Amino acid sequence: MPKIALFVTCVNDVAFPSTGIAAVRVLERLGVEVDFPEAQTCCGQMQYNTGYPAEAKPLAEKFAGDFRGYDAVVVPSGSCGAFVRDVHPRLLGADDPPPVYELTEYLVDVLGAQDVGAYFPHRVAYHPTCHSSRLLKLGDRPTRLLRRVAGLELVELPGAQECCGFGGTFSVKNPDVSAAMGADKVAHAVESGAEYLIAADNSCLMHIGGTARRSEAPIKTLHLAEVLASTADSPYGASA
Amino acid sequence: MKDVYLGMPSFPEAARTATKDERLRANLTRATHTIRDKRAKAVTEIEDWAELVEAGKAIKDHTLRHLDEYLLQLEAKVTEAGGQVHWARDAAEANRIVAGLVKAADGGGDQIREVVKVKSMATQEIGLNEALAAEGVAAYETDLAELIVQLGDDLPSHILVPAIHRNRTEIRDIFRANMARYGRPAPEGLTDAPADLAEAARLHLREKFLRAKVAVSGANFMIAETGTLVVLESEGNGRMCLTLPETLISVVGIEKVIPSFRDLEVFLQLLPRSSTAERMNPYTTMWTGTAAGDGPRTFHLVLLDNGRTDTLADTVGRQALRCIRCSACLNVCPVYERAGGHAYGSAYPGPIGAILSPQLRGTASEIDASLPYASSLCGACFEACPVAIDIPEVLVHLRARVADAEPGHRAERAAMQAATYAMTHPAAYRAAEAAAIKARRLLPPDRKLPLGPAKAWTETRDLPELPKQTFRQWWKENHR
Ligand code: SF4
């Protein structure tokens, strides 16, 4: 039985635990043994990308220590996954990090799964967040998984490749441009006719969802893991 | 750089005004999306595009590593071919040199009072037009978009299409109101049909081409091996300026040199497809010194440093010197599209401006210190760049430089340190988490908060309500 360590990410831990829980459910359903190294905290991306590499380095070191010895680390976040995989080795120099997979990479590339036995009877659009598409190059992995979800209708998102405007501290350092980008993303999501906008990054979804709620736009946001965790027996929203 | 940019407000401030200007937004969105789609198509036509990009990058990196040698070789070859080479450390020196050359040029007995110009980024960068005006010399822009900017007393807002922020009705109004002030007035009853506007510009410019004794240009490439300069353009105005006047003065950044004629093969494919989305640009003019009975009789090359050597010294930042000014990064940039070019406070707007200006000018001014943050790090620029400049990497690198240098970032550093402390000390982390969960909020209860980053977020967005328990707590209760 394959065994992985889940890196849930600090944002998911505190603000979106349901995404972490969903990732555990999907992986276990597919016969993966999931461990959660409890010492884990944060990857340091915010510090690094805001211009504080010295403050990011202790977190990269801590991450390496917390996950040492595991065969694989799975992250339900494209952005944190890319940061750990691309930037940590640069910060730490030569180390021997365990392979890090974003959730859909692990499902598709390692488990060879397409149909994960999910059921989600809703119309959805998929937003390929910038770091999951341009840094991780997830390509069509997420939509391949979504297309096999029973009951799900996948509609096209206009301007899908465009950034939502979150950008970490960009969202508060350049709030006007960030908000203008967020408003356009929400407008496109509404235009798509979807009920849910799905993505592999909760930080982007927090920005898009927060913009949608403030403007009372008819679109909900949801992490991909929660769609994949939803089944006919235990559909999304039925229980916590 | 140019005086007009001194004292510019920080990027976020300038962008705030721009995001509220609906006409500007509409002009920019229409223009950038059109060219963006065309470029994407033009690039996929070439099967080995990725290899071409690699080659362009490698040639530029090689040249930059041996810049001293190639520049001396270029100087020798240009001199051999009858040109004169001048070295300018900064903008002021370059302007002084050009003004002196214009005044000393042969006006057939008359003193030279005007020059015609080929569109050039280097002369925008150093504010040459303003410097010449101060010396009593009028510099006439002959590129259509530069002409629109000049007639409108405006500043360029795009590398390739300096008047991208204007639509054709605005252009018609500018022509009608101001052409007479600069020479031949706009024709009676000028409409905003593109063909009419082009004809008005053609008539206005023609008398300038025929009269000019001196032309000023930049160059896209300089070939060390032969001493040849190369200008790519679309309108033919460049060809007129480069061939008709008696004296030609070219102001070129030192990073524009490439080793050999053969290297052009790569760039003549990369540049047109990335900038105008054309397979080949309509006019490519090349000249080597002077030639008897053909073209200018006197040729001066002013080699411009103006911060480039300092940029070259930075191992991460130096990749910005590979730039071939195609403007693909601007056209795909979601921030540029919404903030507009003027918000970047320099001749170089968009992603390349955000990494080039703070390196050429330093990060002391408000605008330069804010430019590295003018990006969501979405990476669309890096993806489009024909010489593979990792713009997000340089942005993050320059953020660290600003954070280290500016006393104003002390509070932010303290916050980052506190976060790192909490994240590396499990007890502190659990306490912070527990406090947030208990309040069920990331921030205090007001929907809109009064201060700092919290205000910046809640002005336009709601924050999520926090769940009853963290993932960590769930794991403990249900899984272990
Ligand atoms: S940075 Fe790259 S994409 Fe941008 S203008 Fe320069 S060469 Fe073109």
Counting atoms of ligand 1 from 1, which one is nearest the CA of B351? 4
Query: Hey, of A24, A46, A47, A52, which one would you mutate to test binding to chain B, going by the most B CBs within 10 A of its CB?
Result: A52
Q: Which two tokens stand for residue A180?
A: 């203008």
Q: What contacts B188, CB < 8 A, 6 or more positions away?
A: none
Put simply, whether B382 touches A (Cβ < 8 Å) is yes
Return the bridge partners of B217, or none. Answer: B250
Q: Which residues from chain A sit within 8 angstroms of residue B374, using beta carbons?
A: 174, 177
A123-237 is classed CATH 3.30.70.270: no
Per-residue pLDDT tens listing for chain B (480 residues):
445 566 678 999 999 999 999 989 998 999 999 999 999 999 999 999 999 999 999 999 999 999 999 999 999 999 999 999 999 999 999 999 999 999 999 777 778 899 999 999 999 999 999 999 999 999 999 999 999 999 999 999 999 989 999 999 999 999 999 999 999 999 999 999 999 999 999 999 999 999 999 999 999 999 999 999 999 999 999 999 999 999 999 999 999 999 999 999 999 999 999 999 999 999 999 999 999 989 999 999 999 999 999 999 999 999 999 999 999 999 999 999 999 999 999 999 999 999 999 999 999 999 999 999 999 999 999 999 999 999 999 999 999 999 998 676 788 888 888 888 888 887 888 788 777 777 766 665 555 555 577 888 888 898 888 898 999 999 999 986
Rounded-to-integer distance, Cα B183 and Cα A158, Å? 47
Q: H or E segment at B42?
A: helix B22-44
Across the interface, do A51 and B399 touch by the CB < 8 Å criterion?
yes
Q: In what order do the strands lie in the sheet with B298-304?
A: B84-88, B298-304, B247-253, B214-217, B114-117, B138-141
DSSP state, residue B28: H
Q: Which residues from chain A sit within 8 angstroms of residue B378, using beta carbons?
A: 130, 134, 163, 167
Exposure string over B31-50, b if 16+ CB within 10 A, otherwise e:
bbeebbeebeebbeeeeebe
Q: How far is the CA of B220 from the centre of ligand 1 (A)?
A: 13
- Report the nearest-CA residue for atom 4 of ligand 1: B329
| Chain B residues 232-271 with CB within 8 Å of chain A | none
Which of B382, B270, B329 shows the shortest CA–CA distance to B46? B270
Across the interface, do B380 and A161 touch by the CB < 8 Å criterion?
yes
Q: Which residues from chain A sit within 8 angstroms of residue B383, using beta carbons?
A: 134
**CATH fold for the domain made of B11-308:** Rossmann fold (3.40.50)
Distance of CA B89 to the CA centre of its chain: 20
Q: What are phi and psi of B433, to 5 degrees?
A: -60, -45
**Could you tell me where in chain B the CATH 3.40.50.10420 domains are found?**
11-308
**A4-110 CATH:** 3.40.50
Q: How far is the CA of A50 from the centre of ligand 1 (A)?
A: 23
Per residue in B276-306, pLDDT tens? 999 999 999 999 999 998 999 999 999 999 9
Alpha helices in B108-193 (DSSP H): 121-126, 128-134, 144-151, 168-182
Put simply, whether A103 touches B (Cβ < 8 Å) is no
Please answer whether residues B203 and B180 qualify as being in contact, where contact means their C-beta atoms are separated by less than 8 angstroms. no
| Number of DSSP helices (H) and strands (E) in chain B, helices first | 23, 10
Task: Output the pLDDT for position B445.
Answer: 54
Per residue in B128-153, pLDDT tens? 999 999 999 999 999 999 999 999 99
Q: What contacts A126, CB < 8 A, 6 or more positions away?
A: A142, A143, A146, A154, A157, A160, A197, A198, A199, A224
**Could you tell me where in chain A the CATH 3.40.50.11810 domains are found?**
123-237
Strands, E, within B75-161: which ranges?
84-88, 114-117, 138-141
Q: What contacts B414, CB < 8 A, 6 or more positions away?
A: none
